[in-house]
């Protein structure tokens, strides 16, 4: 039985392996871990370093280069390590702790079309509201709309409604929220990018109803966030907390 390859066979295998290594080296860079889906239809494997609202800075051998954001349809990219602790702090209502980390992420990856950047950017405004810094919140929401037109307008409307709720201007808040809620309830599933805004809109409507001593209506809106529009987990956690409080206060409470 022959257990060893001939010398010529070994040479061929070695040459084949070297060829594969060369081919791989000519394709995806060794450091690439992110992917762009381009508006032209192709993809690019890259390593994203940052974004500034108009360009995405990616690593290249010996340096970096910019890729226009306008040319990118979507990005596949894992969030940085600081993202999860920042969201956890926000969910725990530790807004002063969450804000610097969220703002750092939003500034470093400004305008990048990926969900966790959108979430961090919108949470900057939300944190300012929670801290009573309404002027800074308005600026943050306006910046969000500029960076993410289209669905960004919806998120900005929710943000401005959040400010109105914090100021107890409930009629003003409803003018922003009611059209969003009506559109949401007419759809079987939220369009891409709009789910988080729906989650937050029903949460805010629940808060308004609760403030106006309408617990059944508040419960209904909170449950919509929990069961129907759960894309924003921070909003879901807040809604679940209020559902538990309302049901403890009145175990017989049901939705209208």
Q: How much is the pLDDT for 195?
A: 87
CATH code for the domain of 70: 2.30.30.100
pTM above 0.85, yes or no: no
* Whether residue 159 is found in the same domain as residue 181: yes
* Whether residue 246 is found in the same domain as residue 193: yes
Domain that holds residue 36: 28-78
- Of 78, 93, 117, the one marking the end of a domain is 78
188-230: per-residue pLDDT in tens?
777 777 889 999 999 999 999 999 999 999 999 999 999 998 8
Report the domain count for the chain: 3
Tokens, residue 7? 């010398």
Q: How much is the pLDDT for 67?
A: 96
* Whether residue 179 is found in the same domain as residue 159: yes
* Whether residue 85 is found in the same domain as residue 74: no
């Amino acid at each position: 039985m022959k257990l060893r390859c001939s010398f010529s066979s070994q040479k061929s295998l070695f040459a084949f392996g070297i060829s594969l290594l060369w081919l791989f080296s000519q394709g995806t860079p060794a450091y690439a871990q992110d992917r762009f889906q381009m508006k032209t239809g192709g993809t690019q494997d890259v390593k994203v370093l940052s974004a500034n609202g108009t360009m995405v800075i990616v690593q290249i051998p010996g340096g970096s280069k910019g890729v226009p954001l306008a040319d990118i349809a979507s990005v596949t990219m894992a969030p940085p390590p600081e993202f999860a602790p920042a969201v956890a702090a926000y969910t725990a209502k530790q807004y002063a702790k969450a804000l610097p980390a969220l703002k750092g992420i939003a500034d470093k990856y400004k305008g990048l079309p990926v969900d966790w950047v959108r979430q961090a950017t919108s949470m900057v405004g939300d944190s300012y509201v929670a801290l009573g810094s309404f002027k800074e919140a308005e600026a943050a929401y306006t910046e969000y709309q500029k960076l993410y037109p289209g669905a960004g307008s919806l998120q900005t409307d929710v943000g401005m409604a959040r400010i109105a709720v914090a100021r107890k201007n409930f009629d003003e808040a409803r003018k922003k929220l009611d059209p969003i809620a009506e559109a949401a309830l007419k759809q079987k599933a939220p369009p891409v990018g709009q789910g988080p805004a729906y989650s937050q809109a029903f949460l805010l409507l629940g808060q308004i109803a609760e403030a106006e001593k309408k617990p059944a209506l508040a419960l209904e809106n909170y449950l919509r966030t929990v069961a129907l529009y759960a894309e924003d987990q921070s909003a879901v956690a807040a809604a679940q907390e209020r559902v538990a409080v309302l049901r403890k206060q009145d175990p017989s409470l049901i939705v209208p």
